[in-house]
Amino acid sequence: MKYLFSAFVFIFMSFSANAAALSKDNFKCGNVKVKYINSNYDGGGAYYDERQNVIAMNKHYFRKLSSSMQRFIFLHECGHARGVDKEYDADKYAYREARRLNLMLNVTEICKEMEDKRRCSNFKTYVNAAN
């Protein structure tokens, strides 16, 4: 039974090339591929690789995050994949997409993860103006 479950998990992860399973939600970002990477690095959750057109997500880091934070990071990287260059603009993209999809985001939690406090302040200002 243990091996059957492991095989199922492997097959599920293998077929999720275009949709990331994040806390029961599946997200897509156009034709951008999504992959999980195995890394013990805790410094970041995801990045967009323009050359390969893939959003890579750190499994080790992601499993520690709430679903709200996972959503935000994924949508933020999707913004980069859609041509949004600046971090602040990718934050705004993530927030707009979350609202469009009726997803809840925890702005306080998101700001705690941001290293740049000015970025957090700008993000809060944007969220308050959008509501």
CATH number of residue 93's parent domain: 3.30.2010
| Calpha distance 131→62 (Å, rounded) | 28
Lowest pLDDT segment from 56-70, 91-105, 109-123? 56-70
Q: Please say whether the beta carbons of 109 and 66 come within 8 A.
A: yes
Identify the burial level of 19 via C-beta atoms within 10 angstroms of its C-beta, where 0-12 means exposed, 13-18 middle and 19 or more buried.
Answer: middle
Helix, strand or coil, per DSSP, at residue 116 = coil
Q: Please say whether the beta carbons of 36 and 13 come within 8 A.
A: yes
| Calpha distance 14→43 (Å, rounded) | 25
Phi, psi of 19, deg, nearest 5: -140, 130
- The tally of domains found in the chain comes to 1
For the segment 42-61, the average pLDDT, to the nearest whole number, is 86
| Calpha distance 22→59 (Å, rounded) | 10
Residue 25 has a pLDDT of 54
- The pTM assigned to this predicted structure is 0.79
Using pLDDT thresholds of 50, 70 and 90, give the confidence band for residue 1: very low
Using pLDDT thresholds of 50, 70 and 90, give the confidence band for residue 11: very low
Residue 114 has a pLDDT of 87
| Calpha distance 36→96 (Å, rounded) | 25
Range of the domain at 53: 2-130
Tell me the residue length of the chain. Answer: 131
